Amino acid sequence: MNTVDAKRVLETALICAQQPVPLRELRVLFRDALGSDTIKLLLQDIQLEWSQRGVELVQVASGWRFQSRPEMREYLDRLHPEKPPRYSRATMETLAIIAYRQPVTRGDIEDIRGVTVNSLIIKQLEDRGWVEVIGHRETVGRPSLFATTRQFLDDMGLQSLDQLPVLDDPSGSANALQAMAAVAQGVTEPDAAFADAANDSQGEAIASLADGTLFEDAGMDLRKDDTNTDTRDGIEGTT
């Protein structure tokens, strides 16, 4: 199979797929006649060929997918004028804490936020597929440890947690929270939201998109303490 035909097969499979497609499944298209490195090069070629179109090919945690570009949202929203679900500030704060401090217990979240965490908030995040229990802390009561999921990365347009905006200044936590809120509520595309959050120290671009009234006071310090030794080591996993 020549390069043109191979790219056509990849394009067709990815356009028709309802979920991101991992590289190992893309190899199945060619009965493993093409290696992973070759397929990656073909995908990069496809990315370039689609660079001037309203749809782009991106890589997220679960694989590769086509998605609309941020500048197309204004027009696409006209086809679906209904508003997506809106998440409360408390929900987005909880999600941001889990994303940056994971694995964390409900008690950890309450210590950072300074208020009790409503069980319905955790359930909402679990039902959305963004948060899951990965084990239990070996302490009194063996509280559940929460972490984000691969679905969270996919929905936020990230390949890994390393791509979350770096919280290197006091305003960074608010930026990240606003970016997550913008994506979660369908206000903007993932890549645009997190790019702005990472580059704009005041978070003004995201605030203007995310109906900043909910997040204007979001100033939690989510940065990891260098002395914090809480990692996944010593955690008893669930089965």
In this prediction, residue 73 carries a pLDDT of 84
Specify the higher pLDDT residue, 9 or 185: 9
Closest CA relative to residue 21, chosen from 36, 37, 10 = 10
As a whole number of angstroms, the distance between CA 91 and CA 217 comes to 15
Q: Over 60: is that where the pLDDT of 153 sits? A: yes
DSSP per-residue letters across 68-92: E-GGGHHHHHHH--SPPP---HHHH
Alpha-carbon distance values, 201 to 33, 96, 113, 212 (Å): 47, 17, 22, 15
Give the domain 89-214 fold.
Arc Repressor Mutant, subunit A (1.10.10)
As a whole number of angstroms, the distance between CA 198 and CA 218 comes to 16
pTM exceeds 0.75, yes or no: no
In this prediction, residue 182 carries a pLDDT of 63
In this prediction, residue 88 carries a pLDDT of 84
Lowest model confidence (mean pLDDT) among 27-31, 50-54, 150-154, 195-199: 195-199
Q: Over 80: is that where the pLDDT of 211 sits? A: no
In this prediction, residue 112 carries a pLDDT of 86
- We find that the CATH architecture of domain 3-68 is Orthogonal Bundle (1.10)
Domain with CATH 1.10.10.10 in the chain: 3-68, 89-214
Question: Does the bond joining 22 to the residue before it have cis omega, within 30 degrees of 0?
Answer: no
Other C-beta atoms lying within 10 Å of the C-beta of residue 40: 14
As a whole number of angstroms, the distance between CA 183 and CA 189 comes to 6
> Taking residues 90-102, what's their average pLDDT?
89
In this prediction, residue 227 carries a pLDDT of 36
Q: Over 90: is that where the pLDDT of 14 sits? A: yes
Q: Over 80: is that where the pLDDT of 138 sits? A: yes
> Taking residues 141-165, what's their average pLDDT?
90
In this prediction, residue 56 carries a pLDDT of 94
> Taking residues 49-64, what's their average pLDDT?
94
Lowest model confidence (mean pLDDT) among 99-108, 196-205, 228-237: 228-237
In this prediction, residue 205 carries a pLDDT of 30
In this prediction, residue 195 carries a pLDDT of 58
In this prediction, residue 113 carries a pLDDT of 85
User: Could you read off the pLDDT of 158-201 as tens digits, one per residue?
Assistant: 889 888 876 654 444 555 666 666 666 655 566 666 655 555 43
- The pLDDT > 90 percentage for the chain reads 45
Lowest model confidence (mean pLDDT) among 23-27, 130-134, 193-197: 193-197
- CA 77 to chain centroid: 21
- The pLDDT > 70 percentage for the chain reads 67
Q: How many residues does the chain have?
A: 239
As a whole number of angstroms, the distance between CA 89 and CA 143 comes to 24
